Amino acid sequence: MAIYIDPPTWPGHGRMWSHLVSDTSYDELHAFAAGIGAPRRAFERDHYDLPAERYADAVRAGAVAVGCKELLRRLTAAGLRRPKHRAAPGVGEGL
């Protein structure tokens, strides 16, 4: 029912990054991300990586600012967490 974003505290590629997640569905997350102009290539397994300069845009659009532990807790509670070692549903399953 909500989109969450953590503070831009994650370094990478010479920038600081935030994570954007949904506690409802990936469809909700993709729609929100498209609405703020985040490219689909910024989606990684279960979240979007947003550069620090886009953080305020996401909050203005309705993302709820939470700490990184709270963001992970909500993502996990929603059953949407996809750790690196776990494939996305359907990947590797025979047809």
Domain ranges of the chain: 3-77
**Helix (H) or strand (E) segment spanning residue 47:** strand 47-51
Burial class (CB in 10 A: 0-12, 13-18, 19+), 23: buried
- Note the pLDDT of residue 14: 94
pTM of the entire predicted model: 0.83
For residues 48 and 94, what is the distance between their CA atoms, to the nearest angstrom? 28
- Note the pLDDT of residue 93: 44
pLDDT tens digits, 1-55 = 699 999 999 899 999 999 999 999 999 999 999 999 999 999 998 999 999 999 9
CA-closest candidate to residue 63, choices 20, 9, 10: 20
